[in-house]
């Protein structure tokens, strides 16, 4: 390949001067998506065009000194900025958040059929500050920043959109003492009985969680649709929706852990999920995967190997990740992928 290197050194100024060419190199020629054993000079272009659409003077020669060339489309090559950095345009998979939230992940872009608006999808606890709709923790119109505040996002310079809709979270009762007189009497009777046999122990009665949740989800409207892009970082475009099934291989692109892969382990899951301030909420009709996320990945879209959306990641531990079914998310918010 030494002779080919000399050839590359000789011809690279000419090749790099051609429009649309972004690089050159050495490799093996690809024909019909099959890599052959024929060595070639590779010419990398941002977009591969049919020969008839390229002026004759701008065409890459088929051979140089009897060595074949191969035109390879690689797109626009850019540095990979960190997911906690400022991005414009903003792709799904990077840091975003309400101005009172640390940071989460921009999951994907969705459309509102009734208006045609392009909207940003993530979690309530990312875009709406864990609001139950009555607590004043957020208001429609609040600024959404990219990157999130924890990642040095500034509302003055980094506001990417405004909160437009969220599904309130129904939290479990915060009271540790039973408020019902009957429950208190029952607790006293139990403790008298327990005291007869185990004087060092006592019983507490807790109220069952009130209300259940299907999703932790919210929407923001970008200030300028040109400043967001639909292709998920390191994944690409979403190709529809599919139901999660045990054993399904899945992936996500998130602010903290980037591109990770996992497997659906359980469906039809009911789970108690902890929130800030010691609060908790019950979520039903969820699905679980193995560990594939960390704090800050909340809001990531979960997809299968064919880039079909499966769920919206919102919680987890070092042993499991919990996701809303994407069908519930889209249905309750009234949007489509």
Give the pLDDT band of residue 145 (cuts 50, 70, 90): very high
What is the CATH architecture of 95-170+212-333? Beta Barrel (2.40)
CATH of 2-73, one of 3.30.300, 1.10.3720, 1.10.260, 3.90.320: 3.30.300
Element housing 303 (H / E): strand 301-304
Instruction: Give one word for 240, left, alpha or beta, with left for phi > 0 and alpha for psi -120 to 50.
Output: left
Lowest mean pLDDT among 48-62, 81-95, 213-227, 289-303: 48-62
Lowest mean pLDDT among 1-15, 136-150, 169-183: 169-183
The 10 Å CB-count burial string (b at 16+, else e) for 304-315 is beebbbbbbbbb
**Mean pLDDT in residue range 178-206:** 67
Residues paired with 110 in a beta bridge: 119
Instruction: Determine phi and psi for 250, rounding to 5 degrees.
Output: -135, 170
For tokens 């607790």, what's the residue?
Answer: 187
Structural contact between residues 135 and 168, judged by C-beta atoms closer than 8 angstroms: no
Lowest mean pLDDT among 56-60, 125-129, 179-183, 332-336: 179-183
How high does pLDDT run on average in the chain?
88
Instruction: Determine phi and psi for 313, rounding to 5 degrees.
Output: -70, 135
How far apart (Å, rounded) are the C-alpha atoms in residues 263 and 125? Answer: 24
Residue 133 has what pLDDT? Answer: 94
- Cis before 318? omega within 30: no
pLDDT at 175 > cutoff 50: no
Helices (H), 211-285: none
Structural contact between residues 24 and 47, judged by C-beta atoms closer than 8 angstroms: no
Give the pLDDT band of residue 9 (cuts 50, 70, 90): confident
pLDDT at 1 > cutoff 70: no
Residue range 67-78, pLDDT digits in tens: 999 988 877 555
**Mean pLDDT in residue range 283-287:** 89
**Token reading at 212:** 């259940």
Residue 258 has what pLDDT? Answer: 95
Return the domain boundaries, the chain.
2-73, 95-170+212-333, 173-208
- Measured between alpha carbons, how far apart are the two ends of the chain, in Å? 48
Structural contact between residues 213 and 332, judged by C-beta atoms closer than 8 angstroms: no
Residue range 238-269, pLDDT digits in tens: 999 999 988 899 999 999 999 999 999 888 88
């Amino acid at each position: 390949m030494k002779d080919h290197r000399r050839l590359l050194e000789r011809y690279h100024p000419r090749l790099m001067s051609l429009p649309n060419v972004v690089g050159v190199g050495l490799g093996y020629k690809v024909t019909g998506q099959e890599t052959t054993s024929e060595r070639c000079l590779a010419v990398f272009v941002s977009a591969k065009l049919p020969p008839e659409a390229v002026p004759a003077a701008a065409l890459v020669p088929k051979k140089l000194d009897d060595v074949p060339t191969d035109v390879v489309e690689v797109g626009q090559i850019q540095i990979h900025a960190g997911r906690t950095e400022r991005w414009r345009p903003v792709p799904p998979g990077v840091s975003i958040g309400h101005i009172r939230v640390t940071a989460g992940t921009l999951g994907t872009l969705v459309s509102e059929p009734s208006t045609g608006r392009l909207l940003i999808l993530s979690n309530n606890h990312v875009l709406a500050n864990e609001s139950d709709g009555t607590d004043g923790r957020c208001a429609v119109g609040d600024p959404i920043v990219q990157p999130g505040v924890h990642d040095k996002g500034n509302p003055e310079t980094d506001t990417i959109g405004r909160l437009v809709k969220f599904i309130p979270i129904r939290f479990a009762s915060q009271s540790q003492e039973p408020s019902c007189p009957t429950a208190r009497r029952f607790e006293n009777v139990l403790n008298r009985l327990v005291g007869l046999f185990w004087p060092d122990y006592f019983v507490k009665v807790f109220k069952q969680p009130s209300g259940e949740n299907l999703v932790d989800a919210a929407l923001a409207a970008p200030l300028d649709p040109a400043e967001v892009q639909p292709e998920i970082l390191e994944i690409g475009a979403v190709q529809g929706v599919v139901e999660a099934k045990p054993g399904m291989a899945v992936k996500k692109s998130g602010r903290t852990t980037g591109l990770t892969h996992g497997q659906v382990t359980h469906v039809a899951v009911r789970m108690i999920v902890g929130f800030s301030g010691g609060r908790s909420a019950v979520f039903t009709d969820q699905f679980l995967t193995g560990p594939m996320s960390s704090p800050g990945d909340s809001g990531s879209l979960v997809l299968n190997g064919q880039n079909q959306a499966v769920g919206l990641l919102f919680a987890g531990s070092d042993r499991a990740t919990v996701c809303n079914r994407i069908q519930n998310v889209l249905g309750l918010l009234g949007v489509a992928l």
